[in-house]
Amino acid sequence: MEAKYAWIIGICLIIAGCTIGGGLSDSGDDGSPKGIEISNETPIDVQLGSTDVKLLDEDSARSYLGIDDEEMKRLKKLGNLPSITIKDFVYYPREGLDKWVEENTGKTF
């Protein structure tokens, strides 16, 4: 019975070796893995979430607007950000934020 298990282990090791070896075939000529080249010249489009979401919580709204905590506090204090309160939770409509940004471009807060 022990020889039977040795064969199974041997076959598993061969399969694992072939799998790992196949992964290394994607490496460069010098053996180093190929990577993605990133330059500062072209922007990277990153989708943080689904664009189907219509209401954003405060963290998502901050991220969507590209501002930090202090800037968000300042805008909330002014009270002119479009928002909806549902059971003590404040949400920011994505379309309302877009419109607000367009209407307030060039202003200083």
Domain, as residue range, for 89: 55-104
Determine the pLDDT at residue 68. Answer: 94
Segments in the chain forming alpha helices (H): 2-24, 58-65, 69-78, 94-104
The tens digit of pLDDT for each residue in 35-83 reads 666 666 766 666 665 567 899 999 999 999 999 999 999 998 888 899 9
Q: With beta carbons less than 8 A apart as the criterion, state whether 82 and 61 touch.
A: no
Q: Would you say residue 2 lies in a domain?
A: no
Say which range, 41-45, 82-86, 92-96, has the weakest mean pLDDT. 41-45
Q: Is residue 30 part of a domain?
A: no
44 within some domain: no
**Residue 62 and residue 68 in contact, taking contact as beta carbons nearer than 8 Å:** yes
Q: Does 20 reside within a domain?
A: no
Token pair 């040795």: residue: 6
The count of structural domains within the chain is 1
pLDDT computed for residue 27 by the predictor: 52
pLDDT value at residue 16: 73
